[in-house]
Amino acid sequence: MILNKIRQEIDSRNQPWTSEDIEKALEGVTGYQIVQPPANYVPKQTFYRTRLHATPASLQQTPGYVMPSTPVAAETGGFEVPSDPSLPNIKPEEYQFFQELIDKKDEDVQDPEEIKKRMILKLVLKIKVNKARWFGPKVLFDTILPLLMSPTLEDQERHMLVKIIDRILYKLDELVRPFVHKILVVIEPLLIDEDYYARVEGREIIANLSKAAGLASMIATMRPDIDNKDEYVRNTTARAFSVVASALGIPVLIPFLKAIVQQISILMGCAVLPHLRQLVEIIEQGLEDEQPKVRTICALALAALAESAAPYGYEAFDTVLRPLWHGISSHHGKTRAAFFKAIGYIIPLMDAEYASYYTREVMPQLIEEFESTDEEMKKIVLKVVKQCVCTDGVEASYVVTEILPPFFRHFWNRRMALDRRNYRQLVETTQEIAKKVGGAQIIQRIVNDLMDENETYRKMVMETIDKVIQDMGVADIDQKLEETMIDGILYAFEEQTAEDANVVLSGFGTIMNALGIRCGPYLPQICGIIKFRLGHSNARVRQQAADVVARIAPVIRKCEKVGLLKHLGQFLFQLLGEEYPDVLGSMLGGLKAVVNEVGMQDMQPPIKDIVLRLTPILKNRHEKVQENCIDLVGRIADRGAEAVSPKEWMRIAYELLDMLKAHKKGIRRAAVNTFGYIAKAVGPQDVLEILLNNLRVQERQNRVCTTIAIAIVAETCRPFTTLPALMNEYRVPELNVQNGVLKALSFVFEYIGETARDYVYSVLPLLEDALNDRDIVHRQTASAVVKHLALGVVGTGCEDALLHLLNYVWPNIFDTTPHLIQTFTDAIDGLRVGLGPGILFQYMLSGLFHPARRVRNVYWRLYNLLYVGNQDALVAFYPVFDSKLPQHMLRGIVENNTDYKRQECFYFV
C-alpha cells in the first residue's frame, strides 16, 4: 500500500503538460509558435516511456484497480487476517496459536495429519467468535429450542445444546426478554430431571436468564403458570422461581413467593434464617385455605422452612402451631401427612419443656397412623417419631410405655423389610429410639427375629442390632438375652444365601467384639461352625467364614483361647491353594488376623513356612490378594524377620517392585512400608540398591513410590545409611534419576523431622546444584526439599544454611510455571518458619512498591503470606520514616531506601 502511494505521487508530478497548462505558463510571452509533429512520427515504445506518456489518474479522481496486498495488523484494527476468507480475524496475542492459518492456504497442505490440525484450528477459531447479537435472538432460539425438545435427543447432545443456550444468554443480555417464556418451557423440565447434572444445568440457565431478562420480565412471564391447572406446570414453575430467588436475592422477591417458599428453603438451606418470619407470614394463611392442595403445599413449605432453619428459628413458627394442631385432628390422607411432617420438623426447634408437651399431644394422632397402608404416610410417621423421640424434653419412660408397643407391632414385619424406601427410615428411627431408652429395650423385642425364615427381614434385624450396639454397647444386656442373641447371629450366619453378606458379617463382628470376654463359653461352638464352613464346597461360604475369622480373632485372643486360634491358623494355611481370588484374599486376611494375635514365636505352622508359601502368591495380580498378602508379609518382616533367611527377604523385595505399579493406593502403601521392614531386617544396603536402580524406569508413579520407599528405609534405618548412596546416585547424568533422588530427599526430610539438623550441611552442595539447574522440575523438587528441611530444623541453629538456601530459592520468584510457583511459595513459607519473618521481609521490601505491576503482584502475594503467618512479629521490622519529609518524598522512600531509620537494635526493643 505504501509503495502504491509513492508511485501515485511520482506519477502525479510527472504528468505531461496539457495545452492549457503551457498557455497559462507562457501567458504574456511572445515570439514563439506551436510546431506540429510530422505525420509519420511514431514515438519509441519502452517500459519507462510507456509509463511516462501514460495518462495517469488525478489524485482527486478514483484510481484504477490495484491488486491489494496482505493487510497488516495496523490496518485491521490490530488483528491478523487468515488465508481463508471465511474465517474471522485473529487477535495479535493469539497469533502464536493460529499462525498456520495465516502462513499457508488449504491447497498448500498435503499431509493428512496437518489437514486435521488445520481443521481443528479453524473450528476452535470459529468457536471463539461471538456473533450472537449479529444473528439476533429470534433466529437463534427458533433454531435451537425445537431441537432441544426433540424426543430422540441424547444426553450428550442435550448437554451441548444447553451450554450453547447458556452462552447465548450471556451475550444477548436484555435482548432475550421477548423469548423468556419459550426458553422456560424448554428448560423448566430439566429442574425435575432424574439426572443430577441435568438439574444443575437447568438451574444455571434459569439463573443466567434471570440476570439477563431482569426480575420484572421473569415474574410477568411465570406468574400465569403458578395458577395453572396442571400440577406438573405448577411444580416446575415453583422450582424455577426458587432458582430466580437464589440468583436475584430473597429480599427482592418477598412479595411474589407464596407458591415457592418450599423450593427456596430446600435450595437455600440456613440462608433463609434472616427472612424466616416473613416467609412464614406469607404462607400461614394457606393452612386454612378451602383447597386441600393449598393446605398440603403450605404444610410442606413450613416443614421445609423448619428443616432449613434447624436448630434455630422456633419463634417464627408461633403463629402456625394452632392451625397445624387443628389440621391434624380434622384432615386425612396426604394433607394430614403434610401437617404431621411440619410438626415433626418444628418440635425439635422447641425448648425441652414445650417439646415434651407437644410430643405428648401429637403422639396419639401419630399412633393412629401406624396402621396406615399408605407408604408415603408410613415414611412421614417414622420420620416424625424419630424427631420427637430425639428431643430433650421427651422422657424415656413415656417412650417405653406409649410408643414402643404399637411401634414394633405395626412396623417390625416382613413387609417393611421388602419396602426399600421405608427400610432405611425404620432402621434409623429404631436406632434413635434405642439412644433414648437403651439398647436392651430394643434388642429384646427383635432378637428372636434373627431366626426368621425371611432372609431380608433377618438382614434388617441384624443391621439394627449392629447399629444399636455400636451406639449403646452391651452393658445393659443380661445373660439370657446374650445367649439368645448369640444363637440368633449364628443362625443368621449359617443360613445366609444372598450375595451381599456384609450386613451379617458386620453385625457378627460388632456383637462379638462388644461382648468381649463374655464370648468365652460360645467360642468352641463358633470356631467349629467356622471350620466346617471353611471346608464347604461353595466358594462364597468359604469366603464368609474366612472374613469372620478376621473379625473375631481379637476376641478369641482376649478370651485366652490361643489354641483355637492356632488351629484356625493351620486350617487357613492349608487352604492357601484356593483357586478363587476373592476367596484367597479373605483367607489371607483371616491368616493375617491370626498371626497378629498369636505372635510370631508361637504361630503354627512356623513363620518360615508361611513366608515360603506366601512368596509365590505375591505374583497374583488380584487387588484383594495383593493387599492382604503384602500386609501379612510386612507384619512378619516387622515382628519376625529373624525366622526367614535374608536371601528370601531379598527375593520378596524384588517381587514387591512390581507392586509399586498397582492401581490401588492401599497396595502401593503396603508395598513401600514393607520395604522399610525388610531393610530393617536385612540391612539397608541391598534394599537401597534395588530401589535406586528402579529410579531409572520411565513410569512416573513407579518412581514416586520408589522414592517414598527410599524415605521409609531412611527413617527406619537412620538417614546416615541412605543419604551417601542417594547423593552419589545424583551424579548419574540422567534426568529421571536426579529428579528421583531429589524427590526421595524431600520425603526423607519430611519423615525424619528434627533429625535433619545433622544432615543439612551435607546436602547443601547437592541442593545448590539442583536450584541452579535449567530444568524446571529440578528446581521445583529442590524447592520442596528446602521446605521440608526448613520446617524440620526450626530452632536448631541452622539458620546460616537456610539463609544460604534462600539465596538460591529466591531467583525463582518471577517464574510463571504453576507447579514451580506453588513449590516456591511453599519453600518461602517453610523458610519463614525456619528463619523468622524479619529476614524474609527485608527481601520483599524492595519489590512491594516496584513500578511494574507484575513485579508488585508477586511481592505482595508473598508479603500477604508473611503477614498471615507472623503478623505480630512483623511490627519490629517495619521501616520508620521521617514524618517531616514531604509526601512526594515519602512515596519513593522504600524504592530509594532513603531515610530508613530502623536499625537492628530496634528489632529487640
Nearest residue to 656 (alpha-carbon basis) of 681, 685, 678: 678
pLDDT digits (tens, 9 = 90+) for 306-337: 777 777 766 777 777 777 777 777 777 778 88
For 40, what's the count of Cα atoms within 13 Å in the CB-facing half-sphere? 0
CA-angle at 517, arms to 514 and 520, nearest 5°: 115
Chain centroid to CA 389: 36
**Exposed, middle or buried by CB within 10 Å (0-12, 13-18, 19+), for 815?**
middle
Q: Could you tell me the three cell numbers for 104?
A: 499457508
Angle between helices 623-639 and 646-659 (to 10 degrees): 150
Q: How confident is the model at residue 49 (pLDDT cuts 50, 70, 90)?
A: very low
**Contacting residues for 58 by C-beta, under 8 A, at least 6 apart:** 12
Q: What is the mean pLDDT of residues 137-151?
A: 69
The reply to whether the predicted model has a pTM over 0.75 is: no
Residue 169 pairs in a beta bridge with none
User: Cβ of 517: how many Cβ atoms within 10 Å?
Assistant: 9
Identify the weakest region by mean pLDDT among 122-136, 350-364, 541-555, 743-757: 122-136
| Integer Cα distance of 523 and 529 in angstroms | 10
pLDDT digits (tens, 9 = 90+) for 673-720: 888 888 888 888 888 888 888 888 878 888 888 888 888 888 888 888
Q: Could you tell me the three cell numbers for 821?
A: 510457583
Residue 487, domain member (yes or no): no
* Domain of residue 229, residue span: 112-306
**Exposed, middle or buried by CB within 10 Å (0-12, 13-18, 19+), for 654?**
exposed
Peptide bond between residue 605 and the one before it cis (omega within 30 degrees of 0): yes
| Integer Cα distance of 755 and 752 in angstroms | 6
pLDDT digits (tens, 9 = 90+) for 633-680: 888 888 888 888 888 888 888 888 888 888 888 888 888 888 888 888
Residue 863, domain member (yes or no): no
Residue 649, domain member (yes or no): no
Residue 546, domain member (yes or no): no
pLDDT digits (tens, 9 = 90+) for 168-178: 776 776 777 77
- Residue 509: phi, psi to the nearest 5? -65, -40
Residue 606, domain member (yes or no): no
Q: What is the mean pLDDT of residues 418-447?
A: 85
Residue 139, domain member (yes or no): yes
Residue 62: predicted pLDDT: 46
Residue 80 pairs in a beta bridge with 90
Residue 860, domain member (yes or no): no
Residue 104, domain member (yes or no): no
| Integer Cα distance of 638 and 336 in angstroms | 65
- Residue 80: phi, psi to the nearest 5? -95, 145
Identify the weakest region by mean pLDDT among 90-99, 529-538, 555-564, 795-804: 90-99
Could you give the number of structural domains in the chain?
1
CA-angle at 548, arms to 545 and 553, nearest 5°: 125
Query: Which one-letter amino acid corresponds to residue 221?
Result: T
- Do residues 418 and 460 make contact, with C-beta atoms less than 8 angstroms apart? no
pLDDT digits (tens, 9 = 90+) for 519-532: 888 888 888 888 88
pLDDT digits (tens, 9 = 90+) for 547-603: 889 888 989 888 888 888 888 888 888 888 888 888 999 999 999 898 888 888 888
Residue 104: predicted pLDDT: 62
- Read off the CATH number of the domain in which 150 is found: 1.25.10
pLDDT digits (tens, 9 = 90+) for 220-243: 777 677 667 777 777 777 777 777
Nearest residue to 716 (alpha-carbon basis) of 668, 670, 674, 677: 677
Q: Could you tell me the three cell numbers for 263?
A: 423450593
**Exposed, middle or buried by CB within 10 Å (0-12, 13-18, 19+), for 215?**
middle
- Do residues 418 and 411 make contact, with C-beta atoms less than 8 angstroms apart? no
- Do residues 772 and 738 make contact, with C-beta atoms less than 8 angstroms apart? no
User: Cβ of 136: how many Cβ atoms within 10 Å?
Assistant: 13
Mean pLDDT of the residues in the chain = 78
Nearest residue to 327 (alpha-carbon basis) of 288, 381, 380: 288
